[in-house]
Amino acid sequence: MKTDFPSNQLLTIDHSSEILQRIQQGAVFAYPTEGVWGIGASVQCLDAVADILTLKQRPQHKGLIVVCSDLEQLSDWLEPLDDDKKQQVLATWPGPVTWVLPCKESVPEVIRGEHTSIAVRVSAHPLVQKLCKLAGPLISTSANPAGEPSAMSAEQVQQYFPQQLGFIVEGELGGQQGPSEIRTLDGIVLR
């Protein structure tokens, strides 16, 4: 990775200034989410986003999930929703539901993939909320190489990525079973 920090160092959210510094410098890191461990980076650090794709062996055309503390954090990226669709989305947030929402062309392709939309979640996990309030919107993808089961612990994250992460935020999963559900505005459940 692109930082001079020790690899896979465990940090608590109490180290918020150090976490923020590392995120701003382009660190890729792991953290617990509602149901599985995730890998993240700032959406502003496109090299770090590309590093996530490489680590996971994930094709860029698929796109990635962006997690935020509230929808306002992505107002510059999202196309406006009509009131009914907005209420449909907001009724599930904060929570473990990811929505595929129409986005502006300015959203980097490394994040949206080949789509004219991005997958967005306002997490109910207190740690994810704190990270997003601290550093802004983050990439949130499961902490596993493509084809492997999602990591369910910090130890499993370290087994998958023994030296590749800038740090790991200590914490507990949020009690959900598995990754977030992904929905489209026309009622399709993708996962």
What pLDDT score was predicted for residue 57? 93
Mean pLDDT, rounded, for 143-168: 94
CATH number at residue 56: 3.90.870.10
Q: Are 121 and 97 in contact (CB under 8 A)?
A: yes
189 inside domain: no
Residue span of the structural domain in which 115 resides: 9-160
In DSSP notation, 145-188 reads: -TTSPPP-SHHHHHHHSTTT-SEEE-----S-SSSPEEEETTS-
Beta partners for residue 98, in sequence order: 182
The pLDDT of residue 10 is above 60 = yes
What distance in Å separates the CA atoms of residue 77 and residue 44, rounded to the nearest whole number? 12
Written as six digits, the tokens of 190 are 């993708």
Q: How far is CA 158 from CA 17, 133, 161, in A?
A: 23, 26, 5
Number of domains in the chain: 1
3 inside domain: no
Name residue, tokens 């598995």: 178
What pLDDT score was predicted for residue 8? 75
Question: Taking every pair of C-alpha atoms in the chain, what is the biggest distance, in angstroms?
Answer: 47
Model confidence band, residue 3 (pLDDT cutoffs 50, 70, 90):
very low
Q: Which of 2, 23, 8 is nearest to 138 (CA)?
A: 23
CA angle 105, 108, 113 (to 5 degrees): 90
What distance in Å separates the CA atoms of residue 74 and residue 80, rounded to the nearest whole number? 11
Q: Are 190 and 180 in contact (CB under 8 A)?
A: no
169 inside domain: no
Antiparallel, parallel or unpaired: β 138-139 and 65-68: antiparallel
184 inside domain: no
What pLDDT score was predicted for residue 30? 97
- Tell me the pTM: 0.92
76 inside domain: yes
33 inside domain: yes
State how far Cα 181 lies from the chain centre.
14
Name the DSSP class of 77: T
Sheet holding 138-139, edge to edge: 138-139, 65-68, 117-122, 97-102, 181-184
Model confidence band, residue 6 (pLDDT cutoffs 50, 70, 90):
low
What pLDDT score was predicted for residue 5? 56
Tens digits of residue pLDDT in 21-80:
999 999 999 999 999 999 999 999 999 999 999 999 999 999 999 999 999 999 999 999
Tens digits of residue pLDDT in 94-142:
999 999 999 999 999 999 999 999 999 999 999 999 999 999 999 999 9
What pLDDT score was predicted for residue 187? 86
What pLDDT score was predicted for residue 99? 97
